[in-house]
Amino acid sequence: MRNIIDDIEIRAREELFINIHPIQPGGRLTPEAMKAMIAYGDGYSTCDWCRKPFRLDKIKRPPIEEFHIELAEFLGMDQARVVPGARRGFQAVVSSLVEKGDSVIVSSLAHYTEFLAVEDAGGIVKEVPLNEKNIVTAEATARKIEEVKKETGKLPKLIMIDHFDYMFGNEHDVYGIAKVAKEYDIPFLCNCAYSIGVMPINGKEIGADFLVGSGHKSFASPAPSGIVASTKEWADIVFRTTQMIGDVTKRKFGIKEVEMLGCTLMGANLIAMMASFPAIKERVKHWDEEVRKINYLMDEFLKIEGNKVLSEMPRKHTLTKVDTTESFDKIARTHKRRGFFFSDELRDRKIVGEFAGATRTWKLNTYGLTWDQIRYLAQAFQDIAKKYGINIIK
Amino acid sequence: MRNIIDDIEIRAREELFINIHPIQPGGRLTPEAMKAMIAYGDGYSTCDWCRKPFRLDKIKRPPIEEFHIELAEFLGMDQARVVPGARRGFQAVVSSLVEKGDSVIVSSLAHYTEFLAVEDAGGIVKEVPLNEKNIVTAEATARKIEEVKKETGKLPKLIMIDHFDYMFGNEHDVYGIAKVAKEYDIPFLCNCAYSIGVMPINGKEIGADFLVGSGHKSFASPAPSGIVASTKEWADIVFRTTQMIGDVTKRKFGIKEVEMLGCTLMGANLIAMMASFPAIKERVKHWDEEVRKINYLMDEFLKIEGNKVLSEMPRKHTLTKVDTTESFDKIARTHKRRGFFFSDELRDRKIVGEFAGATRTWKLNTYGLTWDQIRYLAQAFQDIAKKYGINIIK
Q: Are residues B298 and B245 in the same domain?
A: no
Q: Are residues B103 and B20 in the same domain?
A: no
Average pLDDT (A28-43) is: 98
Q: Are residues A21 and A49 in the same domain?
A: no
B113 contacts in chain A (CB < 8 Å)? 261-262
Q: Is B389 on the interface with A (CB under 8 A)?
A: no
For B5-43, write each residue's pLDDT tens digit. Answer: 999 999 999 999 999 999 999 999 999 999 999 999 999
Q: What is the pLDDT of residue A54?
A: 94
For B307-335, write each residue's pLDDT tens digit. Answer: 999 999 999 999 999 999 999 999 999 99
Helix axes B86-97, B112-120, angle to 10 degrees: 40
In a domain, B50, yes or no: yes
In a domain, A209, yes or no: yes
Q: Which residues between 183 and 202 in chain B have a beta carbon less than 8 angstroms from any beta carbon of chain A?
A: none
pLDDT category at A2 given cuts 50, 70, 90 is confident
Judged by CB atoms closer than 8 Å, whether chains meet at A244 and B125 is answered as yes
pLDDT category at A362 given cuts 50, 70, 90 is very high
Please choose, from the candidates A103, A105, A152, the residue with its C-alpha nearest in 3D space to the C-alpha of residue A127: A105
Name the percent of chain A lying above pLDDT 70.
100
Q: Are residues B246 and B161 in the same domain?
A: yes
Average pLDDT (A338-351) is: 98
In angstroms, the CA B6 to CA A379 distance is 41
Q: What residue numbers bound the domain in which A299 lies?
A: 13-26+286-387
B265 contacts in chain A (CB < 8 Å)? 84, 223-224
Q: Are residues B257 and B324 in the same domain?
A: no
Q: Are residues A245 and A312 in the same domain?
A: no
Strand intervals (E) in chain A: 18-19, 79-83, 103-107, 124-128, 158-162, 188-191, 210-214, 226-230, 308-309, 319-323, 351-352, 361-365
Judged by CB atoms closer than 8 Å, whether chains meet at A44 and B7 is answered as no
Q: What is the pLDDT of residue B328?
A: 98
Average pLDDT (B182-200) is: 98
Q: Is A244 on the interface with B (CB under 8 A)?
A: yes
Residue from A7, A64, A116 whose CB has the most chain B CBs within 10 Å, to mutate: A116
Q: Say how many C-beta atoms besides its own lie within 10 A of residue B29's C-beta.
A: 25
ipTM: 0.97
Q: Are residues B61 and B178 in the same domain?
A: yes
In a domain, A223, yes or no: yes
Instruction: Output A394 or B197, whichever has higher pLDDT.
Output: B197
B121 contacts in chain A (CB < 8 Å)? none
Q: Are residues B91 and B122 in the same domain?
A: yes
Q: What is the pLDDT of residue B74?
A: 98
b/e burial code for range A66-94 (CB count within 10 A of at least 16 → b): ebbeebbebbbbbbbbbbbbbbbbbbbbb
Q: Which residues between 216 and 235 in chain A have a beta carbon less than 8 angstroms from any beta carbon of chain B?
A: 216-217, 220-224
pLDDT(A146) > 70: yes
What is the CA angle B72-B78-B81, rounded to 5? 50
In angstroms, the CA B119 to CA A244 distance is 7
For A239-261, write each residue's pLDDT tens digit. Answer: 999 999 999 999 999 899 999 99
Residue from B70, B112, B118, B273 whose CB has the most chain A CBs within 10 Å, to mutate: B112
For B328-338, write each residue's pLDDT tens digit. Answer: 999 999 999 99
Q: Is B31 on the interface with A (CB under 8 A)?
A: no
pLDDT(A10) > 80: yes
Residue from B2, B3, B5, B141 whose CB has the most chain A CBs within 10 Å, to mutate: B5
Please choose, from the candidates B124, B182, B109, the residue with its C-alpha nearest in 3D space to the C-alpha of residue B156: B124
Are B258 and B241 spatial neighbours (Cβ–Cβ below 8 Å)? yes
pLDDT category at A1 given cuts 50, 70, 90 is low
Q: Are residues B127 and B159 in the same domain?
A: yes
Q: Are residues B328 and B192 in the same domain?
A: no
Q: Is B20 on the interface with A (CB under 8 A)?
A: no
- Name the amino acid, one letter, at A116: L
Are B89 and B212 spatial neighbours (Cβ–Cβ below 8 Å)? yes
Judged by CB atoms closer than 8 Å, whether chains meet at B116 and A62 is answered as no
B221 contacts in chain A (CB < 8 Å)? 43
B260: domain CATH number?
A: 3.40.640.10
In a domain, A176, yes or no: yes
Average pLDDT (A303-324) is: 98
Average pLDDT (A345-366) is: 97
Domain boundary among B216, B231, B265: B265
A337: domain CATH number?
A: 3.90.1150.10
Domain count, chain A: 2
In angstroms, the CA A166 to CA B385 distance is 63
Judged by CB atoms closer than 8 Å, whether chains meet at A223 and B266 is answered as yes
Q: What is the CA radius of gyration of chain A?
A: 23
Q: Are residues A17 and A59 in the same domain?
A: no
In angstroms, the CA A381 to CA A342 distance is 10
Backbone phi and psi for residue A303, each to the nearest 5 degrees, phi listed first: -75, -15
Judged by CB atoms closer than 8 Å, whether chains meet at A127 and B24 is answered as no
In a domain, B35, yes or no: no
Are B158 and B189 spatial neighbours (Cβ–Cβ below 8 Å)? yes
Domain boundary among A231, A265, A299: A265
* Chain A residue closest in CA terms to B248: A127
Name the percent of chain A lying above pLDDT 90.
99
Average pLDDT (B159-180) is: 98
In a domain, A297, yes or no: yes
In a domain, A228, yes or no: yes
For A153-210, write each residue's pLDDT tens digit. Answer: 999 999 999 999 999 999 999 999 999 999 999 999 999 999 999 999 999 999 999 9
Q: What is the pLDDT of residue B362?
A: 98
In a domain, A272, yes or no: no
A61 contacts in chain B (CB < 8 Å)? 9
CA distance A57 to chain B (A): 15
Q: Is B212 on the interface with A (CB under 8 A)?
A: no
- Give the one of A26, A84, A113 whose C-beta lies nearest to B224's C-beta: A84
Q: Are residues A237 and A301 in the same domain?
A: no
pLDDT(B1) > 70: no
Average pLDDT (B284-306) is: 98
In angstroms, the CA A103 to CA A151 distance is 11
pLDDT(A112) > 90: yes
